[in-house]
């Protein structure tokens, strides 16, 4: 009796080993870089962590292929290295000697990548599935390019400045033109006064020179 | 050497001392003047300190023996730069005219010098403002987090990055593809890249408003544009010194290599750099000093400006190399980490086995035990020296090296904004002198109607220049800018400088010049100035010019292109220029240089013909 059980156990492990080999056709290599990701807070990789990994992967497979109930025993792991990298294959729950095909596994991992990463506090870069490239985050593209906004502000300020400066020089010119007729009136009065003064001082005052001086234009 | 060529009628063309004193007292309002001395000094400092101080001098310093380069630089600064500076200041202050007016007053045959200065200022101004436009583009794009040059765009099906970006780097891609959309050759103009046109419009409008009323508006603007770069450099210095690896950069910069002093190219490069650093022969300095009061102490100004330029060059170089050191260290650390990961993954070793400290020993150990495997891994050698020397000159420094360094700093958008505002101020303050050197000669040559106010002159010049500079907004714009940089701003400036020295010493007369300086500042210039003006400076310029022409004639003309299809991608490929470029080079370098003799010749023929006609008329019997 015990021999039969022993024999069955040996057979199943042997089968499992046969199914899971490095470079097997339907498996993937996983590599974890815990110390790189977490530094001082890194946890030690042990069998419990491995159990969690297998459970997470079973969860991912359940999400992918609805109806089939994947168990932890369906995820077979081999070729563990001290690097913390290993090979895994997924067996079908209905037939434990048959492997689930590569594409389904890939799809499952892709869909639940985020959940798998968070279970281990890692990221796409530190929990690598060799052969399954992570979907890259699209670069942030705002609707209105921000540079147009800044450009608009700058040009608006500069344009307003130009208009203000031009307007002020036009206004200044107008003021100068307005002042000139006023100057002429004042000159008129002083001229009359000088005539009166000169008449009082009994001299012939030749006005032509003084007029010229007053109307010297800049 | 007291050789003075005959120059009849000189006294009729220039104001004499009594006139000068009278003009100074009366403050004739026809000519603009500075509000105060500080405005004048700041404008000159802004003009001299430009983008070249940030991205040309540090590269020269580092490639010519580090700290040892300072020796030829400082020596030539004093022997070549300072005398020419005083010459331009003094002649402008004495004759009280812009560059064309000054040379025309000395002798009508010499008007060509002023015309040449104007042409050079125009050509240089065109491409310089394009650099400002690029800086503005980066500045406008710095107001977002994350910075656009820190990420690659995805390709169409979103699985990986665009191959051009993947192979080079995010900053390279952003500069060559997104900002400029460069074609692969100068002959391939492609279409006009509209973001660049928009930025060019912004650049020319900003210059227009700053200079719209001449120095009365630009004089106010320099308070900001001349002082802000120093503040920003200080901020970057403090930030830079707190970053890891900054000191290795500074060490790399200043480590003296005394062997370099023996090579002639070091001295020639130092001489050329001093010449361009002082913005001599552009005509702007003559204009600026002509707005000074007559008795302003221009000798003191020349010495102050020389000291400031020397100090700023070293200061900017320190800041630049601290940031370069930081970037190189980051890249080096990244390279080592990558190699460590490769080794760990290949040999399945736990993560702690190989760290940065025992990387070398472990690598050798693994190489000796499993040489084939290690060879198959294709481990890259991480060379700190190479990282410190790559891409550190010219536009590559600002737009590629620095932008990359900034993305690695925390709070990148703020640093990016600061950096590009500093570059903008440096560039704009130089452009004030540039546009002064274009607008004032055009006015003196009566190219504009006399009735037009200053605003119209500035506006017209800016509009015309903007239209011409759309040439640089094409897809081949980058290559045109490099072409202009290499040829418009090199040989012509040296020839003009040489002609200026000869004109003042031998045609105006060094004795008269000395008396003028005595009248203006109270004492004659010392023996140092006499010897430099007469012998040392012209000799240095002549040697640089001849050597430059000889080397240029011998080399095949090549330029660097961004070609994703080339073998060396992402390194820029070196490609020969097409043959029609020789005509363009002649236009850029030859026309301004030849303007002096050609104009003199034209004038000679013109006056000979007039004399002949006059004589003929006299001899004709009265009708």
**Nearest residue, CB atoms, B208 vs list A142, A162, A218:** A162
Q: How confident is the model at residue B623 (pLDDT cuts 50, 70, 90)?
A: low
CB contact at 8 A, B82 and B306: yes
For chain A, say whether B26 makes contact (Cβ under 8 Å): no
- The pLDDT score that the predictor gives to residue B261 is 86
| A33: helix, strand or coil | coil
- What is the model's pLDDT at position B463? 94
The minimal CB distance from A35 to the residues B199, B348, B351 is found for B351
Contact B180, B193 (CB under 8 A): yes
pTM higher than the cut 0.90? no
- In chain A, the residue whose alpha carbon lies closest to the alpha carbon of B146 is A140
Instruction: Give, in order, the Cα–Cα distances in Å from B602 to each of A96, B103, B599.
Output: 101, 16, 5
* Facing A83 at nearest CB: one of B146, B161, B350: B350
Inter-chain residue contact A83 with B351, CB threshold 8 Å: yes
Does residue B152 register a pLDDT over 60?
yes
Of the candidates B140, B201, B205, the beta carbon closest to that of A150 is on B140
Span B145-161, average pLDDT: 81
Burial (CB count within 10 angstroms: exposed 0-12, middle 13-18, buried 19+), residue B179: buried
Q: What CATH number is associated with residue B362?
A: 1.20.1740.10
Assess A29–B contact: CB distance below 8 Å, yes or no. no
Closest CA to A130 of A109, A112, A111, A114: A109
Whether residue B467 has a cis bond before it, omega within 30° of 0: no
What digits encode the pLDDT tens for the residues B70-112?
Answer: 889 999 999 999 999 999 999 999 998 888 999 999 988 889 9
What letter does residue B144 receive in the DSSP assignment?
S
Annotated binding site of B: 46, 53, 426
What ipTM did this prediction achieve?
0.74
Give the integer Cα–Cα distance in Å for A206 and B383. 94
3-state SS record for B3-39: CCCCCCCHHHHCCCHHHHHHHHHHCCCCCCCCCCHHH
Q: Give percent of chain B with pLDDT exceeding 70.
A: 98
Q: What is the pLDDT of residue B389?
A: 79
Q: Which residues of A touch B205 (CB under 8 A)?
A: 155, 158-159, 162
List the single best residue of B32, B151, B162, B207 to mutate versus A (max A Cβ within 10 A): B151
What's the whole-number mean pLDDT along residues B39-63?
88
Region B204-231 average pLDDT:
90
Q: Which residues does chain A have within 8 Å of residue B213's beta carbon, measured at their own beta carbons? A: 165, 169
Asked if B351 lies within 8 A of A169 by C-beta distance, the reply is no
Helices (H), B470-536: 477-487, 491-502, 510-521, 527-531
Are B328 and B384 in contact, with CB atoms under 8 Å apart? yes
Q: How far is B165 from chain A, CA to nearest CA, in Å?
A: 13
Residue B399 has pLDDT above 60, yes or no: yes
d(CA B215, CA B33): 8
pLDDT, tens digit, 9 for 90 and up, residues A56-95: 988 988 888 888 888 888 888 888 888 888 888 888 888 8
* Three-class secondary structure of residue A145 per DSSP: coil
pLDDT at B435: 92
pLDDT tens digit string along A173-197? 888 888 776 655 555 555 555 555 5
- B36 has pLDDT over 50: yes
Please give, rounded to a whole number of angstroms, the shortest distance from the CA of B448 to a CA of chain A.
19
Give the pairing type, strands B573-576 and A28-32: unpaired
Q: DSSP class of residue A82?
A: T
Q: Specify the pLDDT at position B190.
A: 84
Q: What is the pLDDT of residue A191?
A: 53
B465: confidence class by pLDDT, cuts 50, 70, 90:
very high
pLDDT value at B412 more than 60: yes
Distance CA(B420)–CA(B138), nearest Å, equals 7
∠ at Cα B108 (B441, B286), nearest 5°? 40
Q: Do the strands A85-90 and A127-130 form a parallel or antiparallel pair, or are they unpaired?
A: unpaired
Q: Is B455 on the interface with A (CB under 8 A)?
A: yes
pLDDT at residue A198, rounded to an integer: 45
Q: Is the dihedral of CA B85, B90, B95, B96 positive or negative?
A: positive
- The residue ranking higher by pLDDT, A218 or B248, is B248
- Give the separation between CA A190 and CA B77, rounded to whole angstroms: 62
Testing the interface with B: which of A82, A138, A218 to mutate, by most B Cβ within 10 A?
A82
The residue ranking higher by pLDDT, A98 or A210, is A98
Counted across chains A and B, CB pairs separated by less than 8 A come out at 87
Cβ–Cβ contact A190 with B under 8 A: no
Q: How far is CA A110 from the centre of its chain?
A: 22
At residue B224, the pLDDT reads 92
- Rounded to the nearest integer, the mean pLDDT of chain A is 77
- What mean pLDDT comes out for the span B579-583? 90
Residues of A in contact with B208 (CB under 8 A): 162
Contact of A155 with chain B, judged by CB distance below 8 Å, is answered with yes
- The predicted pLDDT at position A86 comes to 86
> B390 touching A, CB under 8 A?
no
Q: Tell me the average pLDDT across B120-149.
A: 92
- Pick the residue of A33, A35, A83, A122 with the most B CBs within 10 A to test the interface with B by mutation: A83
Res. A24: pLDDT tops 80: no
Residue B229 confidence (pLDDT): 94
Searching chain A, which residue's CA lies closest to the CA of residue B170? A139
pLDDT band at residue A8 under the 50/70/90 scheme:
low
Of B155, B171, B193, B351, which to mutate for an interface test with A (greatest number of A Cβ within 10 Å)?
B351
Q: Does A133 touch chain B (CB under 8 A)?
A: yes
Question: What pLDDT, on the 0 to 100 scale, is given for residue A10?
Answer: 64
Whether residue B570 has pLDDT greater than 90:
no
Please tell me the predicted confidence (pLDDT) of residue B85: 93
| Domain limits, chain A | 10-130, 146-203
Which residues from chain B sit within 8 angstroms of residue A31, using beta carbons? 345
pLDDT, position A184: 58
pLDDT for A215 beyond 80: no
Q: Does B213 touch chain A (CB under 8 A)?
A: yes
> Tell me, what's the pLDDT at A200?
47
Q: Is residue B220 part of a domain?
A: yes
DSSP B102-114: HHHHH-GGGHHHH
Total domains present in chain B: 1
A133 neighbourhood in chain B, CB within 8 Å: 159-160
Higher local confidence (pLDDT), B569 or A57: A57
The rounded percent of chain B whose pLDDT value lies above 90 is 40
Q: Residues with Cβ < 8 Å from B110, sequence gap 6 or more?
A: B103, B104, B499, B503, B507, B596, B600
Residue A217 confidence (pLDDT): 43
Compare all CA atoms of chain A with the CA of B140 and give the residue at the minimum distance: A147
What is the spatial order of strands in the sheet that A85-90 belongs to? Answer: A75-81, A85-90, A28-32, A127-130
The average confidence (pLDDT) of chain B is 88
* B9 and A CB contact within 8 Å: no
Q: According to the model, what pLDDT value does residue B301 have?
A: 92
- The stretch B30-54 carries a mean pLDDT of 89
- Out of A84, A138, A151, name the one closest to residue B202 (CB): A151
- Nearest CB to B453; choose among A85, A135, A169: A169
Give domain status of residue B2, yes or no. Answer: no
Between B157 and A99, whose confidence is greater? A99
Q: Among B297, B309, B228, B229, which residue's Cα sits nearest to residue B273?
A: B309
The CA distance from B251 to B322, in Å, is: 9
B7 occurs within a structural domain = no
Q: Which domain holds residue B250?
A: 38-142+157-619
Residue predicted with more confidence, A210 or B622? B622
pLDDT at A218: 44
From the list A84, A136, A155, the residue facing B205 with the nearest CB is A155
B581: Cα within 13 Å, side-chain hemisphere: 20
CA distance A201 to chain B (A): 34
Per-residue model confidence as pLDDT tens digits over A106-124: 888 888 888 988 888 888 8
Phi, psi of B575 (to 5 degrees): -125, 140
Give me the count of residues in chain A.
218
pLDDT recorded at residue B470: 92
Is residue B32, in this structure, part of any structural domain at all?
no
Distance from CA of B497 to the nearest CA of A (A): 36
Contact flag B348-A81 (C-beta cutoff 8 Å): yes
Which residue of B133, B148, B452 is the best one to mutate when testing the A interface, meaning the one whose CB has the most A CBs within 10 A? B148
């Amino acid at each position: 009796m015990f021999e039969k059980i022993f024999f069955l156990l040996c057979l199943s492990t042997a089968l499992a080993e046969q199914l899971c080999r490095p470079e097997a056709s339907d498996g993937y290599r996983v590599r974890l870089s815990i110390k790189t990701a977490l530094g001082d807070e890194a946890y030690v990789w042990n069998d419990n962590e491995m159990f969690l990994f297998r459970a997470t992967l079973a969860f991912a497979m359940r999400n992918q292929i609805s109806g089939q109930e994947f168990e932890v025993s369906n995820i077979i792991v081999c070729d563990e290295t001290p690097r913390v990298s290993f090979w895994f294959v997924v067996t079908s729950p209905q037939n434990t000697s048959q492997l689930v095909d590569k594409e389904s596994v890939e799809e499952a991992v892709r869909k639940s990548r985020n959940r798998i990463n968070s279970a281990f506090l890692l990221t796409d870069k530190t929990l690598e599935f060799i052969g399954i490239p992570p979907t890259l985050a699209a670069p942030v593209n705002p609707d209105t390019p921000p540079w147009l906004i800044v450009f608009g502000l700058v040009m608006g300020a500069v344009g307003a400045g130009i208009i203000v400066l031009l307007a002020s020089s036009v206004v200044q010119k107008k003021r100068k033109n307005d002042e000139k007729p006023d100057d002429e009136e004042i000159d008129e009065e002083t001229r009359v006064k000088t005539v009166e003064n000169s008449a009082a001082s009994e001299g012939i005052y030749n006005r032509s020179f003084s007029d010229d001086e007053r109307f010297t234009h800049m | 050497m007291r050789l003075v060529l005959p120059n009849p009628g000189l006294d009729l063309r220039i104001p004499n001392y009594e006139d000068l004193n009278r003009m100074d007292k009366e403050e004739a309002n026809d000519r603009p003047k500075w509000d105060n001395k500080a405005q004048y000094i700041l404008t000159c400092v802004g003009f001299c300190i430009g983008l070249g101080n940030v991205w040309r001098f540090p590269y020269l310093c580092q490639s010519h023996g580090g700290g040892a380069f300072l020796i030829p630089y400082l020596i030539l600064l004093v022997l070549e730069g300072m005398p020419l500076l005083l010459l331009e200041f003094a002649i402008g202050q004495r004759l009280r005219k812009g560059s064309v007016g000054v040379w025309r007053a000395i002798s009508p045959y010499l008007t060509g010098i002023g015309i040449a200065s104007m042409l050079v200022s125009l050509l240089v101004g065109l491409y310089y403002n394009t650099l400002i436009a690029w800086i503005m583009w980066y500045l406008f794009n710095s107001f977002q987090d994350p910075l656009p040059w820190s990420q690659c765009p995805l390709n169409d099906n979103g699985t990986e990055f665009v191959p051009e970006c993947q192979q080079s780097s995010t900053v390279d891609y952003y500069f060559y593809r997104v900002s400029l959309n460069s074609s692969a050759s100068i002959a391939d103009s492609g279409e006009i890249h509209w973001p660049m046109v928009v930025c060019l419009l912004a650049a020319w409008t900003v210059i227009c408003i700053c200079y719209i009323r001449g120095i009365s508006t630009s004089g106010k603007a320099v308070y900001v544009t001349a002082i802000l770069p120093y503040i920003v450099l200080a901020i970057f210095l403090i930030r830079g010194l707190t970053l890891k690896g900054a000191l290795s950069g500074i060490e790399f910069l200043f480590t003296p290599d005394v062997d370099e002093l023996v090579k002639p190219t070091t001295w020639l490069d130092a001489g050329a750099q001093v010449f361009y650093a002082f913005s001599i022969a552009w005509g702007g300095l003559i204009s600026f000093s002509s707005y000074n009061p007559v008795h302003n102490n221009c000798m003191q100004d020349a010495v102050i400006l020389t000291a400031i330029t020397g100090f700023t060059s070293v200061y900017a170089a320190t800041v630049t190399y601290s940031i370069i050191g930081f970037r190189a260290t980051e890249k080096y650390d990244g390279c080592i980490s990558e190699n460590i990961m490769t080794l760990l993954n290949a040999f399945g070793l736990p993560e702690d086995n190989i760290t940065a400290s025992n990387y070398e020993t472990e690598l050798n150990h693994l190489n000796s035990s499993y040489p084939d495997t290690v060879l198959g891994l294709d481990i890259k050698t991480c060379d700190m020296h190479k990282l410190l020397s790559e891409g550190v000159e010219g536009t590559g420094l600002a737009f590629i090296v620095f932008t990359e360094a900034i993305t690695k700093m925390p709070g990148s958008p703020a640093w990016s904004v600061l950096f590009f505002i500093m570059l903008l101020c440096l560039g704009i303050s130089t452009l004030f002198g540039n546009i002064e050197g274009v607008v004032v000669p055009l006015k003196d040559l009566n190219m504009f109607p006399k009735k037009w106010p200053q605003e119209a002159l500035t506006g017209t010049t800016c509009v015309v220049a903007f239209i011409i500079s759309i040439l640089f907004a094409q897809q081949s714009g980058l290559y045109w800018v490099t072409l202009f940089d290499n040829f418009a701003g090199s040989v012509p400036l040296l020839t003009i400088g040489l002609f200026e020295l000869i004109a003042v010493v031998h045609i105006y007369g060094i004795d008269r010049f000395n008396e003028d300086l005595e009248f203006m500042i109270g004492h004659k210039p010392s023996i140092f100035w006499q010897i430099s003006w007469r012998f040392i400076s012209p000799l240095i310029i002549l040697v640089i010019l001849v050597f430059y022409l000889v080397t240029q004639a011998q080399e095949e003309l090549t330029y660097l292109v961004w070609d994703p299809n080339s073998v060396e991608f992402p390194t820029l490929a070196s490609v020969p220029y097409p043959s029609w470029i020789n005509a363009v080079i002649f236009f850029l370098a030859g026309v301004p240089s030849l303007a002096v003799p050609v104009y003199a010749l034209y004038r000679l023929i013109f006056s000979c013909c007039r004399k002949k006609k006059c004589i003929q008329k006299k001899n004709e019997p009265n009708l």
